[in-house]
Amino acid sequence: MSVLCSSAINGMLRMTTKQITEPRLQPATPNDLPLILRWLQENHLPSSDIPTRLNAIFLYRIGAEVVGLGGIEQFDAYGLLRSVVVAPPFRGKGLGKRLCRALLHQADQQGIRELYLLTETAERLFEKLGFQTIERRTAPPEIQKTTEFSQLCPAVATCMKRVYPHEKPLPEIPEDLASDFTGP
């Protein structure tokens, strides 16, 4: 009996530790706005339209600590992935890939079937996640009309597209990915 109790307690402890240490994707709230703007500005990413797009932004947290963020603007079956940032101390450890996988999973859950992005720095990262470079003018009008496409991102930025379902499954999707997302 005491063995059973102690194993049950150990299981609960493991769950609690996992819940604390697993990164989780959570919708941003108005309280998060200053941090989001600061991080985007520090990383030279478009930010001026964020106050009106806050509902598209997700924070990636380990426990209470924000370790990354990313955004998905949705237009029915089309989506724009944007504002992907990992906090400098956490870079180069696979967290960016993991954050993007959580965002791709989230986009899929929201019913997005074509996801687009513009990047000046991270083509290789996104190629690994199944994005392909396309000509910017071939993106659908809904995406072309976004502020990021039409006003904020420079014309030299690379345009990339990922379709769902993807011919190649996402690599190394953690079994607990669904639990990365706790809302809305």
Ligand X SMILES: CC(C)(COP(=O)(O)OP(=O)(O)OC[C@H]1O[C@@H](n2cnc3c(N)ncnc32)[C@H](O)[C@@H]1OP(=O)(O)O)[C@@H](O)C(=O)NCCC(=O)NCCS
Residue numbers of the site for ligand X (CB under 6 A)?
A: 43, 45, 84-86, 91-97, 119, 121-122, 124-125
Residues 6+ apart with CB under 8 A from 103: 25, 58, 70, 72, 81, 84
- The DSSP secondary-structure symbol of 170 reads P
- The distance of closest approach from Cβ of residue 83 to ligand X in the complex, given in angstroms and rounded to an integer, is 7
**Residue 11 or 94: which CB sits closer to ligand X?**
94
Cβ at position 138, least distance to ligand X in Å: 19
Give 111 or 171: the residue with its C-beta nearer to ligand X. Answer: 171
- Name 70's Cβ contacts closer than 8 Å, sequence gap at least 6: 57, 58, 60, 81, 82, 83, 84, 85, 99, 100, 103
Sign of CA dihedral 134, 59, 92, 37: positive
Cβ closest to ligand X, residue 5 vs residue 156: 156
In the complex, least distance from residue 161 CB atom to ligand X, rounded to whole angstroms: 14
| Bridge partners, residue 116, by sequence | 80, 161
Nearer to ligand X (CB atom), residue 11 or residue 88: 88
| Min separation Cβ 97 and ligand X, Å | 4
